[in-house]
Amino acid sequence: MATFRIRQAAELLGVSDDTVRRWADSGRLATTVDEGGRRAVEGATLARFAEALAAESPTNPNPRIVGQSARNRFTGLVTKVTRDAVMAQVEIQAGPFRVVSLMSREAADELELAPGVLAVAAVKSTNVMVEIPDN
């Protein structure tokens, strides 16, 4: 099972190292000790925590755009993998964003995707849907 050091967990959650340490000290986030004797968070635990954290804090409905690209990359933690005989549905929690990917089961197996695994969702689409919110 993958483990993440405090600094890595903080980067994935979009908070400071000190915030992760405070959550760990208060018992809000369970930690373990890695081979080097440093505090770490198991991947599956971090994935569940990232989901809970995203659910309790709404995203900014009007974010300030500071850059853009044709290919968007979302680094996050795999939170769920549903496999059948041919296909796999993979859910990634990337900060406050939940990204869902459909791929062949063979690809998911080769990548060894499971809850707690660090992954990057690279998104490139020829179709973009635009919605107008009710003000």
- Range 72-123: architecture per CATH: Beta Barrel (2.40)
**CA–CA distance from 54 to each of 48, 125, 134 (Å)?**
10, 25, 23
**Chain Cα centroid distance, residue 26:** 22
d(CA 109, CA 39): 29
Reported as a pLDDT band with limits 50, 70 and 90, residue 2 is: confident
Label residues 69-91 b or e (16+ Cβ within 10 Å = b).
eeeeebebbbbbbeeeeeebebb
The whole-model pTM stands at 0.66
* Domain positions in the chain: 3-56, 72-123
Q: Does domain 3-56 have CATH number 1.10.1660.10?
A: yes
For range 75-104, the mean pLDDT: 94
Reported as a pLDDT band with limits 50, 70 and 90, residue 103 is: very high
pLDDT of 56-71, one tens digit each? 866 655 566 565 554 6
For range 107-117, the mean pLDDT: 95
Structure tokens that stand for 38 in this block: 């440093």
**Contact of 118 with 12, CB cutoff 8 Å:** yes
d(CA 35, CA 23): 22
Percent of the chain with pLDDT over 90: 63
Structure tokens that stand for 125 in this block: 């689409």
pLDDT of residue 129: 65
pLDDT of 28-55, one tens digit each? 999 999 889 999 999 999 999 999 988 8
Average pLDDT, whole number, for the chain? 87
pLDDT of residue 110: 94
pLDDT of residue 125: 73
